[in-house]
Amino acid sequence: MNAPNASAMNPQLLFILIISVLVVSFLIDKWIDHLNARHFDDEIPESLKDVYKEKEYLKSQAYKKENYRFSLITSTFSIVVTLCFFLFKGFAWVDGIARSLGNNEVIITLIFFGIIMLGSDVINTPFSYYRTFVIEEKYGFNKSSKRLFFTDKLKGWVLSIILGGAILAIILWFYNKTGDQFWIYTWIFIGLFTVFMTLFYSSLIVPLFNKQTPLEEGALESAIHDFARKAGFDLQNIYVIDGSKRSTKANAYFSGFGSRKRIVLYDTLIDDLDTEEIVAVLAHEIGHYKKKHVLVNMIMSLLLTGITLYVFSLFIGNRILSEALSVSIPSFHIGLITFGILYSPISELTGILMNYISRRFEYQADDYAQKNYNGEALISSLKKLSGKSLSNLTPHKLNVFVHYSHPTLLQRVSNLKVKN
């Protein structure tokens, strides 16, 4: 398989196309954010007026507006830095450093991405710090200490170096050994890795950042097991995670499958909801399993990954991908950067499709919880969680269509009430 003919393309035109994609994507995102912000002060729908008391509603309005302003500042700073990096040949500069330190393409690529990712994270850390210790602190969400914040950063860097570096090295080995057929082996490897992480993420990765303890015997544990038995859902592992050491926001999730299925409840969820509401939330999650949503999502994700890798394999050998970024020596890492940006509009479209399917799945899981457990308890839990997190109850429809993986609270409540 030959790469597309480079002589038919112009590096300068490709560079202009890259800059255009970055700028247009930024402007579209900011336009959608602006439309969404214009609806912050919309009247709350009648069915959701019990989510907030007047004081909490005013607090939620202030929280939304402050996050919007801060997001506008950070995203504008990010696009300016990114454009400067492109315009002043930053990738060629980093490529030169990597080549001066490495003696083969694998090492050079690892050094290159290491510098890019570390530099990006260092630049973004002050913004992350401000969001955590100023905005989240101001509105009563942050429980993290400064020591924990920076410890998490260091752990994340180490994990990225070890795990990310190993994955990248394996993909590069496939590329060096098989050329443009590397996408097949990479696709298989990513599939196997995805299954592995689905099975072992909670037992291998989560303990690096949080403590998980088995749920104590009592009314909640009995209620969960009783419902699981009635639903024909084999469940042995129920854990509580200490999410409260970082934030007051609540969550719960399932991980694994087969004998490694486990429910993980944030301690904040147990504090915020009563037993019936928690079981309703878990009934929703069990609905995802019963409807095969986890399997379908995994298959769709792998199919999209395979298509992306195949298209990438058609272009990776083309010198123009490197020349467009003023890099004279064609390489996997520069080609990946260029392709990633050029492919991003397609990724946005597939992301919108995946979000649409995800919202359909959420309705189905809600319906399962209502039919097999208690729809009113699920409505109550959704309202409480939205209120506790100061959620936006009146998002713009376009923002929902593009960015939301879940229906809005109003849509979910309306759906549950219609079928009650």
Tokens of 318: 């083309």
Active-site residue (options: 277, 285, 323, 362): 285
DSSP designation for 89 = T
Strand partners for 264: 239, 253
Residue with tokens 């989510």, as numbered in its chain: 51
> What 3-state class would DSSP assign to 311?
helix
Structure tokens at 336: 């990946």
Strand partners, 195: none
Q: Which residues of 381-406 are buried (b: 16+ CB within 10 A; e: fewer)?
A: bbbbbbbbbbbbbbbbeebbebebeb
233 three-state secondary structure: coil
Cα–Cα dist 280/79, whole Å: 42
- In sequence order, what are the residues at sequence separation of 6 or more whose Cβ sits closer than 8 angstroms to the Cβ of residue 224? 215, 235, 238, 263, 278, 279, 282
Rounded to an integer, what is the distance from CA 25 to the centroid of its chain? 18
Q: Which of 313, 344, 329 is nearest to 82 (CA)?
A: 344
Cα–Cα nearest to 327, from 91, 151, 115, 152:
91
Which structure tokens are listed for 332? 């996997």
Rounded distance between C-alpha atoms, residue 177 and residue 180, angstroms: 9
Catalytic annotation present for 216: no
DSSP 8-state assignment for residue 339? H
Distance CA 195, CA 94 (A): 34
Residues with active-site annotation: 285
